[in-house]
Chain A
Amino acid sequence: MTESFPVLLLVMATAAYVVRVVGFTLMQLVPVSPRIEAALRATPLAVMAGIAALALQTGGLAEALALGSVVGLTLILRSDVAAALMGVAVVALLRWLGA
C-alpha cells in the first residue's frame, strides 16, 4: 500500500459513516406499517441476545456464571446498569479465583 495515512483515514471514515447512515436513509423509502414496526421493535432484543450468545459461546464457566448473575441481579435490583456492572465484577472475581 502506497497511499498516505490521511487518504487511508478518509477511506476508513467514509466506510464507517456510510454503514451508519445507509440503513437510516433507505428506511425513508419504506412506509412504516405496523408489521415493519413490529419487526423494528424486535431487532434490539434479537441483537442483544445474539451478543450474549456469542459471549457465552466463546467464554467458559466464569462468563456463563457472570451473565447468569446479571439476569438475577437485574430482576432483584430493578436496574440493568447496576446488574451489568456487578456482573463484570463477578467475572473479574471468578477469573482471579481461576475459574
Chain B
Amino acid sequence: MTRALFSFDGFRRGVRDGLPLGVSIFAYGLGFGLVAAQAGFSVAKAVATSAAIYSGSAQLAAVNLLQTGEATLWALFATILVINARYILFGAALQPWLWPAGPVRAYGSLLFLGDANWMQTMRAIRAGEEDRAYLPGTGVPMLLGWLVGTALGAGAVRVLPAPQALGLDLMLAAFAVGMVTAMVKTRADLVPVVVGAGAALGISALAGPGLAIIGAGLAGGLVAALMYRGRP
C-alpha cells in the first residue's frame, strides 16, 4: 500500500492554522483549571486530567462526578463516553482520508483530535488538503493552549479578567459560523446546515446537550445519504 503524504510541511501548515484555535482553547483551559481548583484539585492533578482527557465538557462532567464522592469507575468511564460521543462521528468522518497514512500515524494523530481542529481539518480536506500531518499539526497549539490554560486557571490567576468578559466562551461557535459561511457554496449545502441546527436544538431539549452534537452530525449525514442521487 502506498502511504498517503505525511510531511513536516503539512504539520507546519496545521500548526499555523491551529494557532487561533489554541488561543480559544487556552481560555477554556483557564475555566476548567478554575473549576478543578475549586473542586480541590492541585495544579498537577488538574493538568494531568487535562492531558488525559483533553476535552473540556467531559472533564467538567468528570470533576462533578468525582466531587460527589460516590461515583464508580464504570460511571466515570460511561460519563466520558456519553459526553464525548460526538468523537465517534468525528473519527468516522476522518477515516477515509486519514487511514491511508498508515495505522501508527493515524492512531497517533487521533490523540490530537478536538472539536475545533476536527472542524478545521474537515474544512481543509474539503479544500483539497492532502497532507495527513495537518491534523496533528492543528492539535499541537490546541493541546498546549489547553494545558497552559489549565495550569494558570488551577494556579488561581484571579487577577485575569473572566474569559466571558473577553467573549472567549463564544469562540468555538464563532469559528463554526465562520467555517459554515465559508463552506456553503451551493443551495444543497444548506440542507445539512438546517438539519444539523434543528436536530441539535431538538435533541438538546429532549436529552440534554451531551448528545445534541453527535445527533446533529448523524441527522445531517443521514439526510445527505437519503438525498444522494449519484454523481452530480
Contact = CB atoms under 8 A, between A and B. Distances in A.
A50 B92 contact: no
B177 to A, nearest CB: 4
A18 B99 CA distance: 17
Query: How large, as a class, is the contact surface on chain B?
Result: 35 or more
Given A40-B93, A44-B119, A45-B220, A80 B204 contact: no
Contacts of B150: none
B171 A52 contact: no
A16 B54 contact: yes
Given A16-B84, A24-B94, A96-B165, A39 B221 contact: yes
Contact of B192 (A34, A46, A78, A96): A46
Given A35-B225, A45-B196, A49-B200, A20 B176 contact: no
Nearest to A59: B170
Interface string B186-221: 000101111111111100100001001101111111
A21 B107 contact: yes
Contact of A26 (B86, B92, B184, B224): B92
B161 to A, nearest CB: 10
Given A39-B221, A45-B189, A54-B201, A11 B76 contact: yes
B137 to A, nearest CB: 15
Contact of B209 (A23, A28, A54): A54
